[in-house]
Amino acid sequence: MLPKPHDPETGTPEAGAPYRQPPETVLAALATDPRSGLAQAEAERRLAQHGRNVLETAPPRPQWLKFFDQFTDVLVLLLIVAAAISAAIWLHERDTALPYEAFAIFAIVILNAVMGYVQEARAERAAAALRQLSAMRASVVRDGERCSIPAAELVPGDIIHIAEGDTVPADARLIESTALQTVEAALTGESVPTLKHVAAISGAAELGDRHNMVFSGTTAVYGHALAVVTATGMATVMGRIAGMLEKAPDEVTPLQRELGRVGKALAVAVVLIAVAMIGTIFLMADISGFSQTFEVLILGVALAVAAVPEGLPAVVTTVLSIGMQRMAKQKAIIRRLVAVETLGSATVIASDKTGTLTRNEMTVRRVVTASGAAHLSGSGYAPHGEIELVGTQASDAALRCELLRALTAAERANNAVLHARGDGWAVEGDPTEGALIVAARKAGLLPEALDARFARIGEVPFSSERKMMSTIHTDTAQPERLMVVTKGAPDVLLARCTHELVGEASVPLTAARRAEIMAANDALASEALRTLGVAFRSLPAEAGARESSLKESSLKEAGPHTEDVERDLVFAGLIGLIDPPRPEARAAVAQAKAAGIRSIMITGDHPKTAAVIAAELGIASGGRAVTGTEIEAMTADALDRTVEEVSIYARVNPEHKLRIVAALQRAGETVAMTGDGVNDAPALKAADIGIAMGITGTDVSKEAADMVLADDNFATIVAAVAEGRAIFANIRKFLRYLLSSNIGEVMTMFFGVLLAEQIGLAQLAADGVVLPLLATQILWINLVTDGAPALTIGVDPPDADVMHRPPRPRGEGVITGRMWGGIFLVGAIMSTGTLLVLDAALPGGLIEGEGTLAYGQTMAFTTLVMFQLFNVFNARSDEASAFSGLFRNRWLWIAIAASLVLHAMAIYTPLLQHAFSTVSLGMGDWLICMAVASSVLWLRELSKMVVRRMVAGNGASRRLPRAGLGSD
């Protein structure tokens, strides 16, 4: 293995450091081969030896400390103190066999802590699983084959490919480099990209001057390279400074901040109500002695604990995480929680065409040259198919020569790899470049023969600004000269050409011939073919001499070539490729339209190609396509008007995307934007929801995005929007349930004390104070009804009409005014029904009864529990009937059954009867409680019916984008 790059005593670079050694020496030291890489078995052995390629983090907080965190809330601490005081009073008075009240309070505190701990642990596990899904990957050579593996599995000696837009996964020594530039600001503070080369450095060099090394965590912004991994994990430069990095704070989304504010406001309100209620009790009742005073105070604490939804953050995190996992199963990987809540309000999806709206299975269909055209059959990446020449009989020989030269140029100006995989064929690299290789194979151009004649020695990489790439090759047929082959956008490439290939001759390009070529290009585009131009040139003798030194290196390296290489080119022909629309994309566009979401196509392709595909997908029928050149000429106001009308943008670059996003946002749209390149990062960050391509996307675009499409499919975006809407709707559901139920408890206690005379409680207060419910009963209700039922509502299946509602208005809060109205209505129904049942069970009051206080409180206790369980069904929508989709969520029914069983235990188990001061109820009592409690369902159904009729009266506007509110 390699020696350490620094002396452990002095910290100075050692003579044996990788950057001071030739590539061959480094490869030998690491016992690896640049072409075959490591064997999988050897890689696994080294992984066991060196460990995973990850940075160590602070040791996780012990589980027992996480559990004790559940007891740090002030209200929970007050309950623990109350339990201790209750036990002390029992020790003094010994009025029961055991301190049942103290046991009950303490047991409920423990159970609540267990539930909170389990919910938080589940949320942590879900978040960890999602982080694993979005973990970085590396392109590596193993057993002679290039493949993609998790970057955490890299080991010293692995051969890795680095391309523009990649995040470097480990420290590595370059062995081949083509104009590679990396940004190392995170390590050196230098913001200007660093140009890399292969040659060894003779003396000691500072980190920023090690131009033959790439470092973990830095980003490749130009070119590509082959490198051998020299250090992983904590042995990397990044690893050595990892100890100075603090753990990033947990992400808090606007939704979570809003819920935090709601929770704090509720806490203040409930504390004020509890204080007012305690004051009212002291004023209205004859409270004497420490025991009675303590009972009143503990009631106030219990009411505050029950009414404040302290478990809300854990439930929200759990629901968000579970929803994100459901999205991941549908190939949409959420990188930032904020995207989940923003997806529900998306009004525009601005999508790339290739691979997102289309299959990204490029196939060459047509090659047009000076003497005619060639039609290629076959599909996909299998190099099998027929070639039909279309031209005059006299021109067949010339056409054949032009076809071979054009396909040779396309195959050489190429970085993809075609290889057999199982029963089929696969392309490693860009799909368009793969299709060009397949076309060359169909024409009989074999890689062995091409490699033998045209060995690559340099490259001018593709960039989105230049829209072309070139490679430089030796030519064994002309050893004294070099050959440049170029491919790119036809209009851009043609401007660099001075001649055209006709047969075996190069003839000057006339203005008329240029016009004919562009007309042929338009004709191909009108058939929905993506077009590329190919060209070549022979470098002058003096340029050949200047570049000849490159041929002497066994490990090839090319520095940055200036654009003067890409001039005086000979135009070889046009290549038309088909990338058929995805069959599911048209349905997804229609679904988005029904949901009030506008689809926009943004592509670098020809405007006519874009228009044909857009019409076929239903994005725009016969619509106008605006080009990047037109966008550059527009003022901000003109672009604002354009984006309101135009849904097709062609020949655009990433800067144009940024302007389109800004214009849409100025129009009030919530924009989801896709991207895959390095230069797409600004637009992805600027969009409300940045969406990176998981297959073709660069690491830079993924890092900038909020969401990654694992399958690069437009339909996945629409499915993610539907899931995002469902998640937000579910959060509103359990908020509606928790808040209305807790407000019902508060109103029951408050008005029970205030109306004690009217409901027959006051005459039973011979020993000081009598309350509608005991503190332990309130805590029990909170335990059995606020836990499992609320969580199962949070994972309710999406409503059938979730994509038939308009998007949620931008900036609308999670709790709307109409929601608050429904919450207080339900709370009022609960408290009224519970107090009426209590009144009917006791002597006196408005309804004459005959029961004891224990019986009356047990009846009220049971009625309030049943109210909350019926309320579960109400809470599933502010508009839709509770009977709609009644049995879709089996977990909800299981949770309700569990709550009923727990409550029955409190009613019939002797030990729990002592703890909660309950008595056994008969079947008739249960029927009364259930009948009264069901009123919350029927009355809420009536109010929803009124809302639905109001909405129906304004139904036309409701279906329009951004008009009206959804049912949740």
More confident residue, 503 or 774: 503
What is d(CA 239, CA 621) in angstroms, rounded to the nearest whole number?
A: 54
pLDDT digits (tens, 9 = 90+) for 269-325: 777 877 877 777 777 666 666 667 777 777 676 666 656 665 566 667 667 777 777
Q: CA-based angle 388:394:400, to the nearest 5?
A: 40
Helices within 755-875 (DSSP H only): 775-786, 788-794, 817-841, 853-874
Hey, is 39 helix, strand or coil?
coil
Per-residue pLDDT, 965:
27
pLDDT band, very low/low/confident/very high, at 376 (cuts 50, 70, 90): very high
Q: Is 234 exposed, middle or buried (0-12, 13-18, 19+ CB in 10 A)?
A: middle
Query: Could you give phi then psi for residue 803, rounded to 5 degrees?
Result: -105, 20
Q: How confident is residue 551, by pLDDT bands cut at 50, 70 and 90?
A: very low
At 492 the pLDDT is 92
Q: Is 117 exposed, middle or buried (CB count within 10 Å of its CB: 0-12, 13-18, 19+)? A: middle
CB 777 within 8 A of CB 916: yes
Residue 352 designated active-site? yes
| 684-736: pLDDT as tens digits | 888 989 998 887 777 778 888 888 888 888 999 999 899 888 888 888 888 88
Which listed residue (158, 352, 579, 605) is catalytic? 352
Tens digits of per-residue pLDDT, 222-244?
888 999 999 998 888 878 765 44
Q: What is the mean pLDDT of residues 121-130?
A: 58
Transcribe 859-891 into DSSP letters. Answer: HHHHHHHHHHHHHHHHTT-SSS-TTTTTTS-HH
CA distances from 434 to 95, 138, 247, 364, 422 (A): 87, 20, 42, 10, 18
Which residue is listed with tokens 């020696």? 3
What is the C-alpha separation between 811 and 688, in angstroms, rounded?
A: 12
Backbone angles phi, psi at 96, to 5 degrees: -135, 170
Kindly state the tokens that stand for 351: 């999508």
Give how far the C-alpha of residue 331 lies from the chain's centroid of Cα atoms, to the nearest Å.
10
Using DSSP's 3-state secondary structure scheme, residue 618 falls into: coil
Largest distance between two CA atoms of the chain: 119
pLDDT for residue 137 is more than 70: yes
Sheet strands (E) in 157-207: 159-163, 171-183, 194-195
What b-and-e string marks burial along 857-866, b requiring 16 or more CB atoms within 10 Å of the CB?
bbbbbbbbbb
Residue 11 has pLDDT above 50, yes or no: no
Instruction: Return d(Cα 615, Cα 434) in angstroms, integer.
Output: 27
pLDDT surpasses 90 at 512: yes
Which CA distances in Å does 950 have to 204, 681, 879, 962?
79, 45, 11, 18
Q: Whose CA is closest to 623, among 631, 614, 632, 634?
A: 614
Q: If 0-12 CB within 10 Å is exposed, 13-18 middle and 19+ buried, where does residue 734 land?
A: buried
Binned at pLDDT 50, 70 and 90, residue 14 comes out as low
Of the listed ranges 25-39, 260-274, 425-439, 542-556, the one predicted with least confidence: 542-556
Instruction: Give Cα 767 to chain centroid, integer Å.
Output: 61
| Interval 832-852: pLDDT, tens | 999 999 999 998 888 888 889
Q: Are strands 482-488 and 529-538 parallel, antiparallel or unpaired?
A: antiparallel
Which residues partner with 160 through β-bridges? Answer: 140, 227
**Nearest CA among 381, 359, 377 for reference residue 580:** 359
> Which pair of tokens denotes residue 751?
């008005």
Written as one letter, the residue type at 712 is D
pLDDT on residue 216: 87
Residue 558 has pLDDT above 60, yes or no: no
